[in-house]
Amino acid sequence: MQGGELRNRYEGQWLNDLPHGLGRHNYANKDTYNGEWKAGVRHGVGILHFLDGGVYEGDWFNNKKHGFGVFDYPNGDHFEGMWVEDKKEGEGVHFYFDKKKRTHTKRYDGEWVDDVPKCGFYTEMPPDAFVPASHQPDPLPRVEVIAPDEIIKQRLTEVREERAHIRAKRVPIDEHFTEAELDALQVAFSRVDVEQRGEISLAELSQAFNQVGMEPAEEDIEGVLVHLHKTSDPATTFSFAEFSQAADFLSPLEEEENESAEDQEG
């Protein structure tokens, strides 16, 4: 509390002494989140209002913007598209706001890679009937490239193939596990991530698996690294989404082994 004003406060549903369900959190830095929570973190759908005027509304996974979301910038720009772990990744549209004309005058439709626009189309917005100034556009330079549509189409395909393993994280992990299983994974991850960095090291990966009763062999870990496009470098780290993906990758192997053993016994 500062100057008689409560600066950090949560109001909403709880489970096991942690925010869980629907709730609102007023942060000490004056950001405000209103939406779904799970085991103490933003998880599900919610709106985060930033102190600088920015607003994100969309999907959250393990406290990060993850899935489809809309972001309104303090300068008037507007983005709609896909996110992976707090960064724009995949298809998206960015509308550019012109302060003088007081409307969005240009837009970019395309692919985003690691929070940066990588390949797409930059076009003018049609005039707004309610904004007279928008009827006097600032034309974009003419395209001088032969067959630009074919070039863009080819490059979009290349970008999507190159980033397929990153964008796989965008698949809702919730659909691959029961609520109890996902809770167990989160507990296992947090027990290993004692410093709350939001990531665990390669050396800690097996320890996290052990927390949920999984004992992957060395070749299993190697398979996980290939699946997640990771290296065996000791500095390699895994986010919770990647840990969940790894568990999902290994689980079918265990099920197949169990089924095979049962067939042999039969």
- The DSSP string of 201-259 is EHHHHHHHHHHTT----HHHHHHHHHHTT----TT-EE-HHHHHHHHHHHHHHHHHHHH
Within-domain flag for 13: no
Task: Name which residue leads in pLDDT, 140 or 58.
Answer: 58
The string of DSSP codes covering 2-54 is BTTB--SEEEEEEETTEEEEEEEEE-TTS-EEEEEEETTEEEEEEEEE-TTS-
> Is there a single domain that holds both residue 222 and residue 244?
yes
The phi and psi torsions of 44 (rounded to 5 degrees) equal: 125, -125
Task: Give the C-alpha separation, 208 to 191, whole Å.
Answer: 8
pLDDT of residue 265: 47
Task: Give the C-alpha separation, 76 to 52, whole Å.
Answer: 12
pLDDT of residue 235: 92
> Is there a single domain that holds both residue 93 and residue 130?
yes
> Is there a single domain that holds both residue 74 and residue 162?
yes
> Is there a single domain that holds both residue 77 and residue 152?
yes
Within-domain flag for 23: no
Within-domain flag for 33: no
Residue 155, both tokens: 């490059």
Burial class (CB in 10 A: 0-12, 13-18, 19+), 194: exposed
Do 22 and 38 contact (CB within 8 A), yes or no? Answer: no
Rg of the chain on CA atoms, in Å: 23
Last residue of a domain, one of 148, 166, 184: 166
pLDDT band at 196 (very low <50, low <70, confident <90, very high): confident
pLDDT of residue 78: 98
Residue 103 backbone zone (phi > 0: left; psi -120 to 50: alpha; other: beta): beta
pLDDT band at 27 (very low <50, low <70, confident <90, very high): very high
Specify which of 88-97, 153-162, 169-178, 186-195 reaches the highest per-range mean pLDDT: 88-97
Within-domain flag for 21: no
Residue 187, both tokens: 């507990």
Within-domain flag for 235: yes
- For residue 19, CA distances in Å to 86, 244, 246 come to 21, 21, 27
| Over residues 22-49, mean pLDDT | 95
Last residue of a domain, one of 166, 198, 225: 166
> Is there a single domain that holds both residue 181 and residue 153?
no
| pLDDT beyond 60 at 4 | no
Within-domain flag for 26: no
Helix (H) or strand (E) holding 150, with range, is helix 148-162
| pLDDT beyond 90 at 222 | yes
pLDDT of residue 259: 42
Say how many C-beta atoms besides its own lie within 10 A of residue 2's C-beta.
Answer: 8
pLDDT-above-90 percentage for the chain: 55
Domain count, the chain: 2
Interval 69-91: pLDDT, tens: 999 999 999 999 999 989 999 99
| pLDDT beyond 50 at 263 | no
pLDDT of residue 266: 47
Task: Give the C-alpha separation, 207 to 221, whole Å.
Answer: 12
pLDDT band at 5 (very low <50, low <70, confident <90, very high): low
State which residues form the domain around 227: 171-265
Within-domain flag for 182: yes
| pLDDT beyond 80 at 146 | no
CATH classification of the domain holding 88:
2.20.110
Q: Is the dihedral of CA 72, 73, 76, 77 positive or negative?
A: negative
Helix (H) or strand (E) holding 127, with range, is none
> Is there a single domain that holds both residue 261 and residue 195?
yes
> Is there a single domain that holds both residue 59 and residue 137?
yes
pLDDT of residue 96: 96
pLDDT band at 18 (very low <50, low <70, confident <90, very high): very high
Last residue of a domain, one of 166, 182, 200: 166
Within-domain flag for 11: no
